[in-house]
Amino acid sequence: MTRYEQLAAQIRQQIEDNIWQVGDRLPSLRESVKQSGLSLMTVVQSYQLLESQGWIIARPQSGYYVAKSKTSFAAAKGGKGSHLSENVEINASIFGVLQACNDPDIIPFGSAFPESALLNEPKLAKSLASVARRITQQSAVANLPPGNEKLRRNIAQRYAMQGIHVSPDEIVITAGAMESLSFSLQSVTEPGDWVVIESPAFYGCLQAIERLKLKAVAIKTDPIFGLDLDALEDVVKNYPIKACWLMTHYQNPLGGTMPIRNKKRLVDILNHRQIVLIEDDVYGELYFGNQQPVAAKSLDTLNNFFHCSSFSKCLAPGFRVGWVAAGRHATKIQHLQMMSTVSASVPTQLAIAEYLSQGGYDNHLKKLRMTLEQRQHRLLSAIAQYMPDSVKVNTPKGGYFLWLEFEPPFNAVRLYQLALTQGISIAPGSMFSTSDQFNHAFRLNCSFTWSAQLEEAMKILGRLCHQLLNEKRD
Ligand SMILES: Cc1ncc(COP(=O)(O)O)c(C=O)c1O
């Protein structure tokens, strides 16, 4: 390491340790020369390095300040070749991106949540208040796994309306979909087992695999049609795959939806080898138009698949209420839950059960879908206006993400860092893979009310993309 890199590493460490906080002015160049005994040139180089990495920003005539978010994004490690991911290691790189979205001063294009105002349902707040008045000590016991019966019946009724037969006894209420997905995976695997995942995949899937010490084969996923089934057929012949975790609708991050004929083929391939499907369907209710696409779980004749979802994306992210329709694995899921979180939160389970039983959820969803579709169009037109012409972007038929790509070697991690210094977050493609295949891409959340601030943020993002593309050419 050169001297200026050493000094930069020292300052970076101080920022990480909160010695210098966001917005603090760093020692001036002159002060730093005095303290470190290094030359002015060396100090300038180290400050410039930190600036280029997004840690600090220069304010003319004022000095260097710690940037809005002090988090840096390390590219995910661990991928071997384009498909195989032994030893998945992704956790560390994701936290920084997620933390940046929590800062209220940052435009949260990188966020995974819809705009909170969209989920403001006064009736739900009333249900929670009324439940809080009535709740007793006995309620905790009465709502232990599999969870509140009324809520499970209501969810089973919603499945029935889609033509999917799921008994309330097969449903387990969990603390959000992340818990239901993790328990599902844990219930059918042992450390060292192989699973199939999408490429790119929701980072929560990569984190769960890392935590459970599994090995993953990541299969190319199409931005329109979903998982590549020819590749899946090859993989299941060559690896002892235990489970396949994927999203059939509005895949995160790409936005694609698997057509019904592909779902049928997927189910055939998996059933042929008794491989379990873990279907992550958290965005399933957010379809545009009149027709909800039907889950692969509807084709589960062996009652062997998991269908996982939650109220986090449509109604109440902070309530942490989700579920899994676990078929014949339901008892195992309950055991796992009892051994870890014991049960989902009782007041929030009861509040959602009461809210659902009053009616009105479908109206809320209808409005939500229409708003999200309009907002997607708005962001698409800003992309057309401000992004370089070479940008590639699809138009998902639901959800609230847009996936943007430039030709490699466009560096979306660098875009993320530069954008953060301007108060804008994005979700760089590297969050969604253990390989570096998606470093040229990023995800934007299009659920926010359009405003002059958002317009300005898109202008800045467009300018930064132009800048990065020009750097590449030089
Ligand atoms: C694809 C996907 N699955 C699961 C989850 C987790 O959902 P929950 O907040 O209900 O745990 C998320 C949240 O971002 C997600 O995007």
DSSP 319-383: G--EEEE-GGGHHHHHHHHHHTT-SS-HHHHHHHHHHHHTS-HHHHHHHHHHHHHHHHHHHHHHH
Q: 1-30: per-residue pLDDT in tens?
A: 888 889 998 888 888 767 788 888 888 888
Q: What is the pLDDT of residue 44?
A: 86
H/E segment holding residue 307? strand 306-310
Range 240-247 average pLDDT? 98
Q: Compute, in angstroms, the gap from residue 278 CA to the centroid of ligand 1.
A: 13
Residue 65 burial class via C-beta count within 10 angstroms: exposed 0-12, middle 13-18, buried 19 and up: middle
Protein fold of 3-66:
Arc Repressor Mutant, subunit A (1.10.10)
48 CB contacts (<8 Å, ≥6 apart)? none
Distance from residue 11's CA to the centre of ligand 1 (Å): 35
DSSP of 66-123, one letter per residue? E-S-----PPPB--BTTTEESS-B-HHHHHHHHHHHH-TTSEETT-SSPPGGGG--HH
Q: Which residue has the tokens 């698409």?
A: 380
Q: Using 50, 70 and 90 to split pLDDT, how confident is the model at 63?
A: confident
Band (pLDDT 50/70/90 cuts) for residue 212 is very high
Looking at the DSSP bridge assignments, the partners of residue 63 are 59
Q: Please state the rounded mean pLDDT for residues 53-62.
A: 81
89 compared with 235, residue with greater pLDDT: 235
Q: How far does the centroid of ligand 1 lie from the alpha carbon of residue 213, in Å? A: 20
Mean pLDDT of 348-376: 97
Question: Is the CB of 204 inside a 6 Å radius of any atom of ligand 1?
Answer: yes
- DSSP at 143: T
Minimal-distance CA residue to ligand 1 atom 6: 178
Which ligand 1 atom is at minimum distance from the Cα of 181?
A: 4
User: pTM of this prediction?
Assistant: 0.82
Q: 177 CA to middle of ligand 1, Å?
A: 6
Evaluate whether 286 touches 259 at the Cβ level (below 8 Å).
no
Note the pLDDT of residue 273: 97
Q: Is residue 106 within 6 Å of ligand 1 at its C-beta? A: no
Give the mean pLDDT of 241-262: 97
State the sign of the Cα–Cα–Cα–Cα dihedral 193, 205, 243, 255. Answer: negative
CB of 310 sitting under 6 A from ligand 1: yes
Q: 148 CB less than 6 Å from ligand 1? A: no
- Residue 435: which of 161, 197, 252 has the closest Cα? 197
Among 251, 283, 285, 312, say which to mutate for ligand 1: greatest number of ligand atoms within 8 Å of CB. Answer: 312
pLDDT range class, residue 67, cuts 50, 70, 90: confident
Residue-by-residue DSSP string for 193-247: -EEEEEES--HHHHHHHHHTT-EEEEEEEETTTEE-HHHHHHHHHHS-EEEEEE-
Q: How distant is the alpha carbon of residue 459 from its chain centre?
A: 25
Helix (H, G, I), strand (E, B) or coil at 125: helix
Give me the residue spans of the domains in the chain.
3-66, 89-117+367-470, 121-361
Ligand 1 contact, 280 CB (< 6 A): yes
Q: Which numbered atom of ligand 1 lies nearest the CA of 202?
A: 1
**Host H or E run for residue 277:** strand 276-280
Output the pLDDT for position 88. 53
Mean pLDDT of 162-175: 96
pLDDT at 398 over 80: yes
CATH topology assigned to domain 121-361? Aspartate Aminotransferase; domain 2 (3.40.640)
pLDDT in tens, 366-375: 999 999 999 9
Residue 131: the pLDDT is: 95
- Please classify residue 59 by burial: count the beta carbons closer than 10 Å to its beta carbon, then call 0-12 exposed, 13-18 middle and 19+ buried: exposed
Q: How many Cβ atoms are within 10 Å of 292's Cβ, its own excluded?
A: 16
Tell me the pLDDT tens digit for each residue of 424-449. Answer: 999 999 999 988 899 999 999 999 99
The letter for the amino acid at 311 is F
Ligand 1 pocket: which of 173, 182, 198, 202 to mutate (most atoms within 8 A of CB) = 202
Average pLDDT over residues 399-410: 96
CATH topology of domain 89-117+367-470: Aspartate Aminotransferase, domain 1 (3.90.1150)
Ligand 1 binding pocket includes 110 (Cβ within 6 Å): no
- Report residue 120's pLDDT band, with 50, 70 and 90 as the boundaries: confident
Q: Which atom of ligand 1 is nearest to the CA of 175?
A: 11
Question: Ligand 1 within 6 A of 26 CB?
Answer: no
Share of residues in the chain with pLDDT > 90 (%):
75
So what's the pLDDT on residue 55?
84
